[in-house]
Structure 1
Amino acid sequence: MSTPATADHPAPPTHRSPEWLPPVWVLAIALVAVAANLRLALAAVPPLVQLIVTDLQLSNAAAGVLTTLPVLCMGLFAPVAQWLSERFGPAPTVFAAVACLALGSLTRLAGGSLGALYGGTLLAGVGIAVAGTLLPRLVKTLFPPERVGLVTGVYMLAMMVGAATSSAVAVPLVGLLGSWQASLASWSVVGFVGLAAWAPLARAGWVNRAEATSGGGHSRLPLRSRTAWLVAGYLVTQSWAFYSCLAWIAPSYVQLGWDRTHAGYLLSAFSATQVISGLLAPVLTDRVTDLRLLLLPAAGLGSVGLLGLLLAPTAAPWVWVGVIGLGQGAAFALALVLLVRYAATPAASGRLSAMGFLVGYGIASFGPVTMGVVRDATQGFHAVWLVLVLIMAVQFAVVALLRPGLDTVH
């Protein structure tokens, strides 16, 4: 039996999840099922880019838009996600987002029409944006502070496994299902599974939405916070490098003479190595006060791999891509931890996520298409990797400023 708090003996701070929530195992399954969808619509495209370009007579810049659109949505719709969560509750809002994601993927079955291809990609991007923005807030709400890193690692693991799988089997699915359109649309099945898994939490959140949305205070973005701008700056550099690599690693090796299947396997290796670092890095944050001890090695790994692609792409492609994956997996997982670590409350984490994604993804969304323009202008990928190496140099500078003791976002 606990001792009542008094003025002289205040109760120690404890974490208590709302009583209306489903059991913890249901929460864990739901979190993993939703997280598994957050990169499928993106990672399944690059191995099929040359097929799409040839079939629809697109430029490389236009093909880059298929990666740019979801990332742009992740920026533009992050504040919308925050507003919807304050109005309807974060759990029901995530349910609606996963429905958008699944329907958007299914729409690409008619991808022979540019309207269906880009429209489905846009709808999936909206779903990814809203769900991805709200998951850090839900992690801070549902789990104790000492488990934030572990839980972040678990849903990062689900994201990376989903991305690695979709990259590896995208081309084989074309042969099995008969078209690249069917290959892209097949991932809607995973979306509908996520929808079913999230339904109990969404229902509980809707029935108790008055409690679920309480304590949010205002929904304004922390635009005056130096800490928020530093986190957003980190997201810009991390996301620009990651999504540019995701879009162009496979096509770059197809240009070097690889067949599409093996180029897809190479991209799958990029995602698979992220599984290792994406799980390990956030777990280590539970034991580290100065996150720069993890952020700097992550940036270093990404830089080494990109230098390999720049200077000797055919010397050790699997090594270069694996090293980039290790760096990017850790970097993205640590970015999610930053959104929780530098927020005072779950609602503040939601606002920080909304601002970080708005600025970070809003700018980084131009990465894949800009790199496509660079590739079209230079007829090769040497300049693409050079630009990304310079982006990583900027990331080092931002990381140096993310010291312990920065003001938290309220």
Structure 2
Amino acid sequence: MTAPASPAPRWTLVAAIVLVAANLRTLMASLPPLAEAVRDDLGLSSLAMGVLTTLPVLLMGLLAPVAVQVARRVGPSGAIAGGLGAILVGLALRSLGDTSVAALYAGTFVAGTGIALAGTLLPGVVKAVFPAHRSGLGTGLTMCSMMGAAALASAGAVPLADTLGGWAASMRSWVPLAGVALLTWVAVRRGIRVRTATPDDEADGSHALPWSSLTAWLLAAYLTAQSWQFYSSLAWLAPTYESHGWTARDAGLLMAVFTGAQLVSGLVAPTLLDRVPDPRVLLVAAGVLGGSGEVGVWLAPEAAPWLWALLLGAGQGAAFALGLGLLVRYAVTSRDSGRLTAMCFLVSYSVAAFGPAASGAVEDVTGGFGPVWALLALVMLPQLVVSVRLRPSLPRVGA
């Protein structure tokens, strides 16, 4: 069934999607360059700092099915609006962490809840707004915005702290971006609601998660390995180099290279997905790039740190963007994409959420970051194995 014409121009809907995506990683990306300052001020261990990265990722997994149910009742546009509101409140609350450790963790929880709502439903909105032959471009724009904002958050964290008077003020600087996204989304919400409208809902399980689908399980396994590596790298790349004597500012710039490379590869990879018949070519290439960066940081961290960060970012950005693109490609309708996304996020993020905390525990026990990167390189192996299984002829969810 073709959705009725939208009362808003498509470009305004795309702009709103881009702004939503920009708010999905600033919570996590703005923390690592400030980690040492936060830890020193509040007396937190590496494990406790890892929890600050683990918590939003865990929420993204556990609340993914909840997002689908919320969208069923208020529509994807209303659910995403609620998610943006939670991100706004959570970021503001987190920035009070210099006066209350509880506020730091509570704000992370609230913002993580909002990210779970908006992030789970966004691929379905992309599928509804972009034509089928341009779904990769839509995913690429989403990734570009997400990683571009993350790069700014990483690079700007320490300079903002120096300028504004502390790490809490630096964290607070991302509240206005969430406010702009929320206002823009509300302004075009009717257009989004029209495009995501579906035929009458069925009571026969059409909203159920696709647990019996081999395709869904392969994608979930792929995203589990990828997300474990990504969030662990995000949490510990900067602290790794600070342990080698780098300043927080230089480590933040290294993080900007890491996230900036994701910006480029996150746009290019899903756009190529529209043109390359077999996604396995791109999936394996992305895995090799990311794995090379992990091995470099593990075995020769000081030999070529900027190159390792570039390889890490390019590989992981492309890998995640391709995963998002396949969540769209392997679904029949936008609703099916939402169901597939919810299941894959539930499995992958619930497992990967423990990556940063586990890595922090490894560092606490061993006293160094080398074993952390050895573990991440090992996790790349199952990602490559699953990549080879994701052939283009796999049955689509909802078929």
In 1, are the aligned partners of 2:154 and 2:252 still within 8 Å (CA)?
yes
1:66 aligned to 2:52?
yes
Q: Give CA-to-partner distance per residue, 1:98-123, whole Å, 9 cap, x none.
A: 11001100111210211100000011
Matched residue, 1:5: none
Structure 2 portions without partners, runs of 5+:
none
- The alpha-carbon deviation at position 276 of structure 1 amounts to 1.2
In 1, are the aligned partners of 2:13 and 2:191 still within 8 Å (CA)?
no
Q: Give CA-to-partner distance per residue, 1:324-354, whole Å, 9 cap, x none.
A: 1000110010010110111111111000000
Structure 1 portions without partners, runs of 5+:
1-14
1:33-52 alignment runs, 5 A limit: 33-52=19-38
- The alpha-carbon deviation at position 196 of structure 1 amounts to 1.1
- Quote the RMSD (CA, aligned, Å): 1.4
- The alpha-carbon deviation at position 201 of structure 1 amounts to 2.6
SS in 2 for 1:288: coil
Q: Give CA-to-partner distance per residue, 1:51-79, whole Å, 9 cap, x none.
A: 11111100000001111011001101110
In 1, are the aligned partners of 2:125 and 2:192 still within 8 Å (CA)?
no
1:286 aligned to 2:274?
yes
- The alpha-carbon deviation at position 252 of structure 1 amounts to 0.5
Q: Give CA-to-partner distance per residue, 1:266-297, whole Å, 9 cap, x none.
A: 00100001111111000001112210010000
**Aligned with residue 246 of structure 1, among 229, 234, 240:** 234
Q: Give CA-to-partner distance per residue, 1:207-258, whole Å, 9 cap, x none.
A: x69x835455432111111110000001100100000000000001001000
1:145 aligned to 2:136?
no
What amino acid is aligned across from residue 80 of structure 1 in structure 2? V
In 1, are the aligned partners of 2:84 and 2:114 still within 8 Å (CA)?
yes
**Aligned with residue 230 of structure 1, among 218, 233, 239:** 218
- The alpha-carbon deviation at position 365 of structure 1 amounts to 0.3
Matched residue, 2:143: 156
Matched residue, 1:75: 61
Matched residue, 2:83: 97
Take 1:52 and 1:366, find their aligned partners in 2: how far apart are those partners?
A: 20
1:212 aligned to 2:200?
no
**Aligned with residue 256 of structure 1, among 216, 222, 244:** 244
Take 2:395 and 2:29, find their aligned partners in 1: how far apart are those partners?
A: 36
Take 1:290 and 1:204, find their aligned partners in 2: how far apart are those partners?
A: 34
SS in 2 for 1:212: coil
1:378 aligned to 2:363?
no
Matched residue, 1:193: 180
1:19 aligned to 2:5?
yes
Matched residue, 2:322: 334
Matched residue, 1:323: 311
1:180 aligned to 2:167?
yes
1:348-387 alignment runs, 5 A limit: 348-387=336-375
1:272 aligned to 2:229?
no
Take 2:364 and 2:102, find their aligned partners in 1: how far apart are those partners?
A: 24
Take 1:215 and 1:288, find their aligned partners in 2: how far apart are those partners?
A: 35
Aligned length: 394
Take 1:395 and 1:364, find their aligned partners in 2: how far apart are those partners?
A: 13
1:301-312 alignment runs, 5 A limit: 301-312=289-300
In 2, are the aligned partners of 1:81 and 1:134 still within 8 Å (CA)?
yes
In structure 2, the CA distance between the partners of 1:348 and 1:318, relative to structure 1 (3 Å rule), is same
Take 2:374 and 2:80, find their aligned partners in 1: how far apart are those partners?
A: 38
Structure exhibiting the larger radius of gyration computed from Cα positions = 1
Take 1:330 and 1:137, find their aligned partners in 2: how far apart are those partners?
A: 20
In 2, are the aligned partners of 1:215 and 1:347 still within 8 Å (CA)?
no
1:30 aligned to 2:16?
yes
TM-score normalised per structure 2: 0.96
Take 1:143 and 1:17, find their aligned partners in 2: how far apart are those partners?
A: 12
Q: % of aligned pairs identical?
A: 50
Take 1:291 and 1:18, find their aligned partners in 2: how far apart are those partners?
A: 32
TM-score normalised per structure 1: 0.94
Take 1:62 and 1:213, find their aligned partners in 2: how far apart are those partners?
A: 44
What amino acid is aligned across from residue 291 of structure 1 in structure 2? P
